[in-house]
Amino acid sequence: GAVVSQHPSRVICKSGTSVKIECRSLDFQATTMFWYRQFPKQSLMLMATSNEGSKATYEQGVEKDKFLINHASLTLSTLTVTSAHPEDSSFYICSAKPGSLVNEQFFGPGTRLTVL
Amino acid sequence: AQRVTQPEKLLSVFKGAPVELKCNYSYSGSPELFWYVQYSRQRLQLLLRHISRESIKGFTADLNKGETSFHLKKPFAQEEDSAMYYCALSDSWGKLQFGAGTQVVVTP
């Protein structure tokens, strides 16, 4: 149980286009999902916290107009990188937290974004 | 400010030798600490959480509030322990801050 999927696993796009990444909790409901970014050979950096039915909260230095997050249901959160540029190329990872008292996050496999 | 420090980027040990991964933290509140592991080409997964006080795959970690440490230990390393290990601190909202990670290589 507690499986999180991400789609797509890999995407290549041209500079200036927008890219949407989906994060789904397959067998549990997630009231909270998190989006992370990981540069090569670096650790995960939290970008934003996505709460179902409310606006996402962004970490300091993360542009909310650049990285649009929507958490429309208890099993789906989406991250849209708008007007992508080469510096947005990275590995984006989501995690989902069940709506329970247990403080545990389950991670997706990640999405590799390459902006040409 | 909260911070998680993993001083070792790479730890190379022989099979059967003890392994210890260091993790120090700074946090003004009551911390909740985790160790996550990422095997090659796999997703990040939880290895240990300090409140569980359990041993997983032979690994243990004890929270030392006096030294603000949460070091991960295993008495006898196995080749399948080769992976990237991240120490993480959760705040009261459940947000995780990760350390830089330690790559463990276990050689036969």
What is the pLDDT, as a whole number, of residue A101?
Answer: 65
Total residues found in chain B within this entry: 108
Residues in A touching B103 (Cβ below 8 Å): none
Q: Is B46 on the interface with A (CB under 8 A)?
A: yes
Q: Mention every residue, 6+ apart, whose C-beta is less than 8 A from residue A34.
A: A46, A48, A49, A50, A94, A95, A96, A97, A105, B95, B96
Task: Tell me the mean pLDDT in the region A92-98.
Answer: 94
Compute the nearest-CA separation of B61 from chain A (Å): 17
- Is residue A99 scored above 80 in pLDDT? no
State the amino acid at position B93 in one-letter form: W
Q: What is the pLDDT of residues B55-65, one digit of tens each?
A: 889 999 989 99
| Interface A:B, Cβ pairs < 8 A | 39
Cα-based angle B44, B49, B52 (whole degrees, multiple of 5): 140
- Is residue A24 scored above 90 in pLDDT? yes
Closest partner residue to A103 (CB to CB) among B44, B90, B99 is B90
Q: Minimal Cα distance from A111: which residue of B?
A: B43
Q: What is the pLDDT of residues B17-34, one digit of tens each?
A: 999 999 999 998 888 999
- Is residue B53 scored above 90 in pLDDT? no
Q: Residue B94's pLDDT band (boundaries 50, 70, 90)?
A: confident
Residues in B touching A43 (Cβ below 8 Å): 86, 98-101
Q: Mention every residue, 6+ apart, whose C-beta is less than 8 A from residue A48.
A: A34, A35, A56, A57, A58, A59, A62, A64, A67, A69
User: Do residue B95 and residue A107 have CB atoms under 8 angstroms apart?
Assistant: no
Residues A106, A33 contacting (CB under 8 angstroms): no
Task: Tell me the mean pLDDT in the region A57-81.
Answer: 93
